[in-house]
Amino acid sequence: MDLRTVKRILVPTDFSDPSVEALASAIALGKTTGATLDLVHVAFDTAYAVPPPIDVAVVPVDMGKVMERVNASLAAEVEQVRAAGLTCDSATPLGRPETEIG
């Protein structure tokens, strides 16, 4: 692969240690190629947590607070990318990672 053809790098993140390492690798690759980094964190929709028809008690989740933490964490990662001199876009779709990232 000719690295000069890399224009965008998708970086899914869940803010775990492996995601932090993946971001560092993406930044290094971005510096080599000049690519834009696209950071994505999928906020897990709790409607998908337990498939029907299982009957379980549901604990309410304050998605507003969850999204505040997610957005703050993602903003910190975006700033890290921009501090490295790269262009960065970000998104926080709600759903299941396996269907939202692609």
Q: What residue ranges in the chain does DSSP mark as E strands?
A: 8-12, 36-40, 43-44, 88-91, 94-95
Domain range list for the chain: 3-93
Residue 25 burial (CB count, 10 A): 12
Q: What is the pTM of this model?
A: 0.81
pLDDT tens string 18-37: 999 999 999 999 999 999 99
pLDDT tens digits, one per residue of 60-77: 678 788 889 999 999 999
SS3 state of residue 37: strand
Fold classification of 3-93 is: Rossmann fold (3.40.50)
Six-digit token pair at 42?
Answer: 């999928």
Q: What does pLDDT average to over the chain?
A: 87
Short-list 36, 46, 45, CA closest to 82: 36
Amino acid letter, residue 1 = M
CA distance 40 to 8: 13
